[in-house]
A and B are shown apart, each in its own frame.
Chain A
Amino acid sequence: MGAAYLLVLLFAAIAFSAGGILVAKLLVKGSKNAQKAEAYECGIPTEGTPWNQFNVGYYLFALLFLIFDVELIFMYPWAVVVKQVGIAALVEIIIFIFILFIGFLYAHKKGALKWI
C-alpha cells in the first residue's frame, strides 16, 4: 500500500521506545551519587580514555567488506535476469568474480586476513 507505511513503522518504533523510556523516567525516583556515574570496569578509577588508537585489523576487514558488498549489490540485478539471459550471463559473472577473486587473493597474500 505504499511507502507511507514505512513512516508508520518508523513512527511506531520511535513512539514505542520513547514511551518506554518516558514511563520509566516518570516512575523511577533515582538517587544522586557521583560514584554511580563512573564507567563500569573493575572497581579502581578508570585509567585513560577508550577513545584512542585501535587495532588496525578491524579497518582492514571493513575495507575488504566494501569490495565484496559492492560486488553483491551488482549481483542483485544480475540474479533477477540470469535465467532469461542464460549461458552468456554465467560466463560474464564468472569473469567478474574471477577479477575480484584475484584482488581477494592479493589481500590474503599481503596478510590482510591474518588476525594480529
Chain B
Amino acid sequence: MLSLETITNNINNWLNNHVSSTWATIIEMLIVGLLVIGLFAMLGLILVLMERKVSAFMQIRVGPNRVGFKGSLQTLADTLKLVLKEGLTPKGADKFLFNLAPYVVMCAAMLILAPIAFAKNFQIWDINIGVLYISAISSISVIGILMAGWASNNKYSLLGAMRSGAQIVSYELSAGFSVLCIVILTGSLQISDIINAQQNGWFIFKGHIPAIISFIIFIIAVTAETNRAPFDLAEAESELTAGFHTEYSGMKFALFFLAEYVNIFVVCAIGAILFFGGWMPLHIGNWQGFNQVMDYIPSSLWFILKVFGLIFLIMWFRWTFPRLRVDQLLNLEWKYLLPLSLVNLLLMTVVAIMGWHF
C-alpha cells in the first residue's frame, strides 16, 4: 500500500544506491527544507481561507466566492497584494529589533515542527524529549512578539505586546500541566512512544475523567497561547488597532500573520497527538475486525482529519464567545485553571498508579 513511509524509504534507498552517502544526506536535507517551506505556504493558504469560510458559515453568509472556484484562490490574491505592499519602518523605531522580530517568530514556528509525527513513521526528528522540546520552543515566540512591540515605537504596539506576553506566559502553565497528565500515563516524553501507547484506544477515552479535564484545559490554554479570540486582547481591534504588529506592513506583516496560523496548526497537531492518538486510527480495545477496517484508512488522513477538526473547534470559539477583559483573563488562569490543573494532575497520578485507566 502506498504510504508516506514507503515513499520516504524508497527515496532514501534510491539515493543511497545512486550517490555517495554524504550527498544522499545533503539531498535529503534539501528535500526536507523544501517540503517544510511548502507546508508553511500551503498551511497559510488553506487556513486563512478556512477561517474566512468558517466565519461566513457561522454568520450565515457566503464568504469569499469570487477569486477561483468558490473563492479558493482568495488567499493567493491576498498574498500577492501583501507582497506588492511597501514595507515601512516607523520613525524612531529600533531598526535592528524591528527587522529581527519577524524572523524570530518564524524560526520558532518552524522549529516546533521537528518532533511532530505527520503519519506513521513520518517525522523529521523523533527526539526522546519531544514534549519538553515542544514546550521549550513554543515559549520562544513570546520573545519575538515582545521584540516587535518594543521596537515599533508605538504605544499600541507596546501595550499589545505586554498583554500578549502576560497572556502567553500565564497560559503556558496550564497547557504544560495538562501535557504532563499524558506524560504520566505514558511514562515517556517521546512523541512516537506517546502515539504507540494509544494503540488500543485514544487517551481521551482511556485516561478516565482526568484526561477529559486536561483536554478541556489544554484547548482553553492553547486558544489563549495563540492569541485567538476570545483571548485576543493582544490585538483587540477596537482598542489597540492591531496590537504588536500595528506598525508592520507588507511582507513583514504577512510573516507574522503566517506564523500565527502555523502556530494554530501546530498546537492542534500536539492536541491531536496527545489526546487523539496522532496518526493512530480509531482502535477499540481488542475488537480485531473493527480495528483492521479502521487500519485501511491511511494514517496521514487520520492525522489531517483530527488536526483540522481541532482547528475547526478553535475557529468555532472565535465566533461564539465575547472577548474577555485583561483582569478576567488573568483571573481565569491564575484563580481557576491553574489550581484546577494542579488538582487534576494529582488525580491523574492516582489513576495511573492504581491502574484505573483502561
Interface residue ranges, A against B (CB under 8 Å): 1-6, 8-18, 20-21, 23-25, 27-28, 30, 36-41, 49-51, 54-55, 57-58, 61-62, 64-65, 68-69, 72, 75-76, 79-84, 86-87, 89-90, 93-94, 97, 101, 113, 115
Contact = CB atoms under 8 A, between A and B. Distances in A.
Interface string B30-49: 00111011001000000000
Nearest to A28: B86
A24 B184 contact: no
B125 A24 contact: no
Given A72-B177, A76-B132, A10 B90 contact: no
Nearest to A30: B86
Given A27-B83, A65-B170, A68-B173, A39 B334 contact: no
Nearest to B86: A30
Q: A-side binding surface: helix, strand, loop or mixed?
A: helix
A83 B187 contact: yes
Interface of B: 29, 32-34, 36-37, 40, 82-92, 102-103, 106-107, 109-111, 113-114, 124-125, 131-132, 150, 152-158, 162, 165-166, 169-170, 172-173, 176-177, 180, 183-184, 187-189, 241, 246-247, 250-252, 254-255, 326-327, 330-331, 334-335, 338, 342, 345-346, 349-350, 352-353
A23 B33 CA distance: 19
A90 B169 contact: no
A81 B330 CA distance: 32
27 contacts: A5-B114, A9-B113, A10-B111, A12-B37, A13-B106, A13-B109, A16-B37, A16-B106, A16-B110, A20-B254, A21-B87, A21-B102, A21-B251, A23-B251, A24-B82, A27-B84, A28-B86, A28-B250, A30-B86, A38-B91, A39-B153, A39-B154, A50-B153, A54-B158, A69-B176, A80-B187, A113-B335
